[in-house]
Amino acid sequence: MEEFKYQTEQFGDYRILRYQVPGFDELDIEKKKQLFYLYNAALWGRDIIYDQNYKHNLRIRKVLENIFRSYKGNRENSDFKLFLEYLKQFWFSNGLHHHYSMDKFFPKFKKEYWNELMNNSNWTQEDNIEIIKSDIENIIFNKELDAKRVSLDEGVDLIKSSANNYYEGVSQKEAEDFYATMTNKGNKQAPSYGMNSKLIKENGIIKEEVWKIGGMYSAQIKKMVYWLEKAKNHCQTELQEKAFEKLIEYYKTGDLKKFDEYSILWLQDSESTVDAVHGFIEVYGDSLGKKASYESVVSIKDEEASKRAETISNNALWFETNSSTERKYKKEKVEGVSAKAINVVVEAGDCSPSTPIGINLPNAEWIREEYGSKSVSISNILTAYDEASKDTGALQEFAYSQEEIDLSKKWSNAASALHVDLHEIIGHGSGKLADGVADPSDTLKNYASTLEEARADLVALYFAIDPKLEELGLQKSIEVGYAEYNSYIRGGLMTQLVRIELGKNIEESHMRNRQIIAKWAYEKGKKDNVIEKKIKNNKTYFVVNNHQMLRKLFGELLAEVQRIKSEGDYEAGKNLVENYGVKINYELHKEVLERWKKLNIASYAGFINPKLKAVYDDNKIIDINIEYPMDFSEQMMEYSKNFSI
């Protein structure tokens, strides 16, 4: 059998990978049909994420793709290759702002070449080429215009300084005041107001444009609902069927209470082999943490890998009880925490091409506290990352000693998988709010997402070297935890910096979280030399000297982050993020970038999805085939043709 090729290409700072779907061919026809219908429902939401990210993205994509399709000039010269690189980055980021840094990126070809591209491509009369030429040119080349998709900067109007398409004509204060009037104080079961809408001001009146059939994105949502209704007819469990019914009702009405009802049903269904995350889910793309981006993950259960996740979820109360957080912020009982490992079949929206490796939902705090949560780790994505990252040289470059390198090679795969499970299942599912404290997005505002990710990571790190893990059969040796500590500090203080342009601050919430934890532990542990900064051959390294003391530091920080979240302590949260998570040491950053450049490793990876094709006989589906495309551009163009209105 021909060896599966995980990496297909690399351009700029990006590499394109593929993943396999183990067990797909062995599924019965009913499960395959359900996957096929969910596959289509997922991809019909693709245009939505482009529009959410920036109001001109779909116009720009249409123009860029038309050039790609019809340009009659020299397609082999360096300028056209730079155009292709820009287009691929645009696809990768679902728009013209970097998917991680949130900064607008720019073509590397000169403005003059834009005219060459426009003049030698095919256009219809309706396209109005002269307006397109000047208008789109200004948007993509103007460095002052809409420079940042999500701004988390202190002291600015977060809405006006962000280019995303969640607000129009309103200020940060107006938006906060609008939603403050909607919040039912003391009602923990109030829905997440604003999650599925755009807030606009017309003629001095502020109102919401709701994403639903008959509202904003109606045409796309109609298509999604069409395929969801087909998928509903092939459910394995009554719970899953009821969940799909409620999700469809939500899309038809825009009623956020229906989404909460769907979420409860979805998390309670732990039996179905086929599963899907579908909807407006995460709020990282909104500075205020109100508006949720579209995403979908369609999957099948990985039975073998799920055993680890199920062991963790079955012992959730032990982890909660033995956490380092204050007793008054711990749950007295932990119910409804389900966990499994999955193999994804297709991803869309904010999960594609760049994908998560684990998911914990729903996000509503009151549902977590009363009903629990569902956590998944994504086995085939983790496998693809591991296979594509073998022998890149990064470990040898940034690890201080051969002992550290050997420890990582032996245990890193097990350590990262366990960290994801602990982060998603126990981390996001832990703790509770103090009485009377509102949703964290209201109290902690633009710092809420960063602090939530820090809490989840700290839970995983705190338990990573606990003897209980070996007792439960979750790890073979405490060395697994040691390898994770080494990797986390190395990544949080150094290697993640390769994703940031020299001289800029950290914007993305997960990256801020990792630097907060690593930098705080380094600073607080200095007197005991817990983490030591070493220089060898004029290169900087950070070495963990005492893993047990580092665990104690992680526990102290976890207690404080949980307190901040539980009490809604905005000032303490702000100080923690701003002091430890945002700014980067310039000289260290410069050194890391120079060392990384020599390795010729792309900093970011994204995926080509498998392709599902129905096999018909007498107009009836008799099978679903799965294919593994190799060409990123071809898939992007196919999606724009087949899943765009």
Predicted pLDDT of residue 186: 60
Instruction: Tell me the mean pLDDT in the region 20-28.
Output: 97
pLDDT tens-digit readout, 230-249? 999 999 999 999 999 999 99
Q: Is the pLDDT of residue 305 over 90?
A: no
Predicted pLDDT of residue 1: 57
Contact 592, 498 (CB under 8 A): yes
Instruction: Tell me the mean pLDDT in the region 444-469.
Output: 96
Q: How far apart are CA 83 and CA 71, in angstroms?
A: 11
Q: Is the pLDDT of residue 184 over 70?
A: no
Q: CB count, 10 Å around CB of 603?
A: 17
Instruction: Tell me the mean pLDDT in the region 180-185.
Output: 74
Predicted pLDDT of residue 389: 82
pLDDT tens-digit readout, 392-403? 789 999 999 999
pLDDT tens-digit readout, 308-337? 989 999 999 999 999 999 999 999 988 778
As given in the structure block, the two tokens for residue 469 are 């893990």
Q: Is the pLDDT of residue 538 over 80?
A: yes
Strand order in the sheet with 205-210: 167-168, 197-202, 205-210
Contact 96, 55 (CB under 8 A): no
Q: How far apart are CA 439 and CA 250, in angstroms?
A: 22
Backbone angles phi, psi at 24, to 5 degrees: -65, -45
Model confidence at 442, pLDDT cuts 50, 70, 90, reads confident
Task: Give, as one character, the DSSP assignment of residue 579.
Answer: I
As given in the structure block, the two tokens for residue 472 are 């439960």
Instruction: Tell me the mean pLDDT in the region 173-198.
Output: 87
Q: Is the pLDDT of residue 2 over 90?
A: no
pLDDT tens-digit readout, 557-596? 999 999 999 999 999 999 999 999 999 999 999 999 999 9
Model confidence at 172, pLDDT cuts 50, 70, 90, reads very high
Contact 267, 242 (CB under 8 A): no
pLDDT tens-digit readout, 96-118? 999 988 999 999 999 999 999 99
Predicted pLDDT of residue 185: 58
- What percentage of the chain exceeds 90 in pLDDT? 87
Q: Is the pLDDT of residue 603 over 70?
A: yes
pLDDT tens-digit readout, 122-162? 998 777 777 787 899 999 999 999 999 999 888 899 999 99
pLDDT tens-digit readout, 366-414? 998 899 899 899 999 999 998 888 777 899 999 999 999 999 999 998 9
Instruction: Tell me the mean pLDDT in the region 53-75.
Output: 97
Instruction: Tell me the mean pLDDT in the region 485-514.
Output: 95
Instruction: Tell me the mean pLDDT in the region 38-64.
Output: 97
pTM greater than 0.75: yes
Instruction: Tell me the mean pLDDT in the region 40-50.
Output: 98
Model confidence at 440, pLDDT cuts 50, 70, 90, reads confident
Q: Is the pLDDT of residue 444 over 90?
A: yes
Which residue shows structure tokens 């599902």? Answer: 612
Candidates 355, 576, 395, 417; CA nearest to 494 is 395
Q: Is the pLDDT of residue 188 over 80?
A: no
State how far the alpha carbon of 447 is from the alpha carbons of 155, 441, 444, 475, 570, in Å: 13, 8, 6, 33, 8
- What percentage of the chain exceeds 70 in pLDDT? 99
